[in-house]
Amino acid sequence: MSETFELETEHIPLCDLLKVCAVAETGGVAGLLIADGEVRVDGQVELRKRAKIRPGQVVTGEGFEIHVVAAS
């Protein structure tokens, strides 16, 4: 799955992005994916579930790729 997420605020916590984009059903599942090192931000493993994701960043993992852009 590859998608573009339009961010309407300055940033979104990584765990919330994974929920909104249906990568994880709940915040708990999102937290586990992140803690297990299965999520990358701009190609680097990200272990902070509340990491601030901003426009221009790409979040990837097994079977998903999310391009974050500023809402127009």
Distance CA 10, CA 1 (A): 24
pLDDT, tens digit, for every residue of 2-12? 999 999 999 99
Task: Assign residue 58 the CATH number of its domain.
Answer: 3.10.290.10
pLDDT, tens digit, for every residue of 24-69? 999 999 999 999 999 999 999 999 999 999 999 999 999 999 999 9
72 pLDDT higher than 90: no
CA angle 49/54/58 to nearest 5° reads 80
Host domain of residue 46: 2-70
How many domains does the chain fold into?
Answer: 1
